[in-house]
Amino acid sequence: MYKGSLVALITPMTETGELDEDAFARFVEWQITEGTKGIIPVGTTGESPTLSHDEHKRVVEIAVKVSAGRVPVMAGAGSNSTAEAIDLTRHAKLAGADSALVVTPYYNKPTQEGLFQHYSAIANAVDLPIFIYNIPGRSVVDMSVATMARLATHKNIIGVKDATANLTRPLHTTAACGADFIQLSGEDHTALAFLAAGGHGCISVTANIAPRLCSQMHAAWNTGHIHEAMLIQSRLVALHDSMFCETSPGPVKFAASLLGFTADHCRLPMAPIAETTRAQVRAAMVATGLLN
């Protein structure tokens, strides 16, 4: 169910910064049509830190409605407050999401025991499959393989979005958590290398604007066409570079605006991206064949 190219969705907004529900619905439909195998609303790429709770929940509801069971919906439900994460996970279940993505608590810097208790409390409170989102670069805490192995014994904790960029990690995670524990990369540049190390897929930022190419790359890999997959990977490198040349989701949201899916707007404290960044994004999209 969770394999191949999945997308960490942007949240389309108007020029004045309001949630653009129609644009979001259209964007989700396009993602599915282009071959994306799973959608993840209201993660960091979806600007979850600056959405109100009502907006957050509405985005999940739209994603579930539009997807209509065609691809799994993994709803962002993380927080540095365990009670708030439980509330968001409960809503994800009520809305009909297939699973929840729960980021390691940011700013608090919990110990490994704190991480274990945080995820255990969520998994005990809501009967919904949960993916751990381990992203030390944003949350300033790294869940150890040993802690993940403890959590993997819970029936509701089924996998991880690994954004550590450590390509030995999936090898150790498989050894500790078992081959059935679903490992999804959170790093576009190393998606194929992650698969080679035992991963199952990638939750991609770049797939927001190149869903067909990302999906084709994974399909080629999964059918044994390794050379084809590597050729697509090479084609995507400059695009990956441009998506992260400034803090995400600034560049990817600008890129999506060039494709007509949203206004070029992120909520503060995300500032408008620099002109040099705009030029790099546009050039990468032209080189990749996404723009004329």
Distance CA 288, CA 35 (A): 18
CA of residue 98 relative to chain centroid, distance? 15
Q: Indicate which residue of 37, 57, 161, 253 is catalytic.
A: 161
Tell me if 75 sits within 8 A of 92, measured CB to CB: yes
Distance CA 190, CA 144 (A): 20
138: left (phi over 0), alpha (psi -120 to 50) or beta: alpha
Tell me if 126 sits within 8 A of 158, measured CB to CB: no
**Residue in the block written with tokens 């993380």:** 78
Facing residues of 99 across strands? 74
Q: Indicate which residue of 2, 37, 57, 133 is catalytic.
A: 133
Tell me if 155 sits within 8 A of 130, measured CB to CB: no
106 is known as an active-site residue: no
37 is known as an active-site residue: no
Q: Tell me, what DSSP letter sits at residue 172?
A: H
Distance CA 155, CA 195 (A): 24
Question: Closest by alpha carbon to 85, among 4, 32, 139?
Answer: 139
Q: Element (H or E) spanning 102, and its range? A: strand 99-103
Report the interhelical angle of 226-243 vs 250-258 (nearest 10°). 110
CA of residue 291 relative to chain centroid, distance? 24
| Residues designated as active site | 133, 161
